[in-house]
Structure 1
Amino acid sequence: MFARLEAEFASRLGRECLYVPSNRFGLFIALRYWMKPGQRLLMSPLSADEILFVVLAAGLRPVIAPISARNGNIDVSAVADLRFDGVLTTHLYGLPDDVVALARLCAERGIPLVEDAAHALHTTVAGVPVGTNGIAAVFSLSKHAGAAQGGMIAMASPEDRAALEELRGRWLSPRYAVAEFAGLVKAVARNTVVGTGLAYYTWRLAEALNLNERRNGYRIALRRDVLASRLAGTPHPGMAVLDPWIHADNHNYRMRQGSLAEGYALRRMQVADDQREQRLRGVRRLAGLKNIAPAVRDHLDQPLFRVPLLVQDRDHAAARLRRLGVITGHIYAPPFDDYAPGLTEPSPSPDAARWWARHVLPVDPLLADRAWPVLATLSAPPEAG
């Protein structure tokens, strides 16, 4: 199953790779395999909603890490006194976590480091691809590449493959050709209109037809009472129990896929490679703005998935960009410990995460020129306290 795509990733990473139908599905089986129910997972407060619910579905206790105001990732210098049994990176927008320090810390404690590399398909650290520092990494094919579905687990030891395959088979849902084809059509349409004048009208139509996931601001509705009842009575609820929360914006996240999905993903990987230099040009242009996240200037050699700006009136800026056809997504607000108090162990130093969540404006570097008339007028927020 998906041997060509697995071989493509293995050639890039030098690791054994296993295809999964989505990044979130891959993270679930990785966490189920390398950690035990009841253990504590150190993670960023700034990530997609479904990642929090994947962690809960795996029976783990989310321990929310302080973040660095420079890059929005885990502040390794601030976690030494925290108790945790594993670490999950984010590599937010493609800006790398300090995986060298995190790998060293995990080795000292004898605990697993799992990299969520959904935003980091082309990111490297000291010339080494992201996804090769921990015991495992999970990539997304729908982010950089713009494929309809798909993710990839890259593992440090090929000996783990058989067990991960067994877990994958246990949790996969049946393949429905109509749903797979519809997903491909949607992906093709999205990739066709992105960055054009049609993007705004497509977004407006999707909103009017209620095709986008309902949200309270930028997060999906928590439905705390229902969620609590689903979590009660078992140390590891599993994906099916928390499916209404995990499936946000991708209701087929664990559906078996066929050859059409593999073929399209391979083509989109080539497109992503071809766009690398254009992404770099966009990153370098946006890095000249006064309100760029400081760490971007440290990584001008990285073709980032998104370039984070930190702006005074983010929501107004996002609305102005939409009218230019630049649709801003991947805003993670509020931080997980504010979004789901009681379900997480809160960060001991939450201010930087709250500041990022209020002010971050992630911009596709491929659309830097189209977005520039708005971005050049934006004011920087007061510095993080």
Structure 2
Amino acid sequence: MSRPMLRYGRQSIEQDDIDAVVAVLRGDFLTTGPAVEAFEKAIAEKTGARDAVVCSSGTAALHMMAMALDLSPQDAVVVPSMTFMGTASAVRLAGAEVVFADVNPETGLMEAGHLEDAVARAGSHRVKAAIPVHLNGWACDMNALAAVADKRGIVLLEDAAHAIGTTVAQDGRRIAVGACVRSKMAIFSFHPVKTVTSAEGGAVTTNDHALAARLRRLRSHGITHNPGDFVDRAAAFAPGGEPNPWYHEMHEPAPNYRLSDVHCALGLSQLKKLDRFVARRQALAARYDKALSPLAPLVRPVPRIAGCEPGLHLYAVLIDFAALGLDRATVMQRLRDQGVGTQVHYIPVHRQPYYRRRYGELSLPGADTYYARELSLPLFPAMQDDDVDRVAAALSAIVDCVG
């Protein structure tokens, strides 16, 4: 009997998650209700940030974060090329230009030298911000990046879409990614393949209460219901001084990026399992490391980052396809024939046609080298130990066939 296909990632939904969603469906609020605030409070507590603002997706979180910077066409934002397209698209949607940074060819992470190089290539544009990406769940060196950013007056942000549950060592303690210790804001994604899911959803964390309030306006048409923000006081307040109960104001145009109570109920239930899910992903990764070690140097995992305990979104390996004598598509198909699904994360964004037309041909050898070798293997909490062994055996068979 054939075994089920192992996808590279999938959600792990349990009965309590279902019960949480059903409870909302049976309640009074499907959206803009109490589950939203509860989810935000839980994210803030888990990350150590003062505020969390949830929204409809990780890309929405990126766009809200970019809009909150008040970017102009004269501004530029540094984005590593090794990321999902949403990181760069958010900058363009907010009206600024993107300067693509290179990455370490082994880890796929943007480093301080890459940020310096990108700033030097910005030309006449003012580099207002930089968005390092914690790829696969491994954290960038935020201290080194902050040293560059602080020196140049650059706002440092974090794309932590892969890194919920990741912690780093700092000053003798462990700091969660999203605490915004060295950044203004950080974003998360709760897509089904991420470590925890709200089906679709995202969040921005920050330690700036005023900024959090603006982010909440930006996720809901730029509308405020806060009497302290009202400008047209004659229309806003009754003769006795009380705010009119129907009144609201729009202070800037913005999308509808709200996250419903249904999604938040699922996300809150999932977030309670974050530590368990992270531990399971780390255990599966350790088993992969051991099982794949005989395949080195043809196949090897992305190297560990010192001081980082990752909430792994992906288990990424680097494969020397040229030495193997097989192209990546062939390897992926042979694995698929054995019931093993894989994916590539990512095509360097500077290679996308839109950015080639806008910025010309760029030489970012680290991103291109990482991309040429990367393959993401199945990783999700419901996997069994023998699933890892099955993937490793399928890869070993491919290597042995050409060895």
**TM-score, normalised on structure 2?**
0.68
2:376 is matched with: 362
Partner residue of 1:54 out of 90, 95, 99? 90
* Secondary structure of the corresponding residue to residue 150 of structure 2: helix
2:110 is matched with: 74
Q: Structure 1 residues 342 and 271 mapped into 2: Cα distance closer, same or farther (>3 Å)?
A: same
- Aligned equivalents of 1:255, 1:327: Cα separation in 2: 32
- Aligned equivalents of 1:7, 1:17: Cα separation in 2: 7
2:186 is matched with: 137
Partner residue of 2:132 out of 72, 75, 89? 89
- Aligned equivalents of 1:56, 1:345: Cα separation in 2: 16
Task: List gaps (5 residues or longer) in structure 1.
Answer: 173-237, 241-253, 380-385
Q: One-letter code of the match for 2:176?
A: P
Partner residue of 2:334 out of 320, 324, 342? 320
Contact 1:145 1:265 (C-alpha < 8 Å) held by counterparts: yes
Q: Deviation at 1:45?
A: 0.7
2:284 is matched with: 282
* Secondary structure of the corresponding residue to residue 221 of structure 2: helix
Q: More displaced, 351-360 or 134-143?
A: 351-360
Q: Deviation at 1:139?
A: 0.5
Q: Structure 1 residues 303 and 137 mapped into 2: Cα distance closer, same or farther (>3 Å)?
A: closer
Q: Deviation at 1:378?
A: 5.7
1:228 is matched with: none
Q: Deviations over 1:30-86 (max 9, x none)?
A: 111124122111111121233332221111211111110121011322332424321
Q: One-letter code of the match for 1:18?
A: V
- Aligned equivalents of 1:334, 1:276: Cα separation in 2: 27
Q: More displaced, 156-165 or 88-97?
A: 156-165
Q: Structure 1 residues 296 and 35 mapped into 2: Cα distance closer, same or farther (>3 Å)?
A: farther
- Matched ranges for 1:84-123 at <5 A: 84-123=127-166
1:10 is matched with: 44
1:22 is matched with: 57
- Aligned equivalents of 2:377, 2:304: Cα separation in 1: 12
Contact 1:20 1:152 (C-alpha < 8 Å) held by counterparts: yes
Q: Deviations over 1:239-293 (max 9, x none)?
A: 98xxxxxxxxxxxxx5544322111112222344322222111222233432324
Q: One-letter code of the match for 2:333?
A: A
* Secondary structure of the corresponding residue to residue 114 of structure 1: strand
Q: Structure 1 residues 334 and 12 mapped into 2: Cα distance closer, same or farther (>3 Å)?
A: closer
Give the alignment's Cα RMSD to 1 decimal.
2.7
Q: Deviation at 1:101?
A: 1.0
2:19 is matched with: none
Contact 2:344 2:374 (C-alpha < 8 Å) held by counterparts: no
- Matched ranges for 1:192-231 at <5 A: none
Q: Structure 1 residues 171 and 373 mapped into 2: Cα distance closer, same or farther (>3 Å)?
A: farther
Alignment: residue pair count: 301
Structure exhibiting the larger radius of gyration computed from Cα positions: 2
Q: Structure 1 residues 94 and 112 mapped into 2: Cα distance closer, same or farther (>3 Å)?
A: same
Q: Deviations over 1:144-185 (max 9, x none)?
A: 11331111110121121221111111279xxxxxxxxxxxxx
* Secondary structure of the corresponding residue to residue 262 of structure 1: helix
- Aligned equivalents of 1:60, 1:326: Cα separation in 2: 41
Q: One-letter code of the match for 1:320?
A: R
- Aligned equivalents of 2:311, 2:40: Cα separation in 1: 22
Contact 2:61 2:187 (C-alpha < 8 Å) held by counterparts: yes
Q: Structure 1 residues 321 and 88 mapped into 2: Cα distance closer, same or farther (>3 Å)?
A: same
Task: List gaps (5 residues or longer) in structure 2.
Answer: 1-31, 224-252, 322-326
Q: Deviations over 1:329-359 (max 9, x none)?
A: 3522144245421334765x41221122222
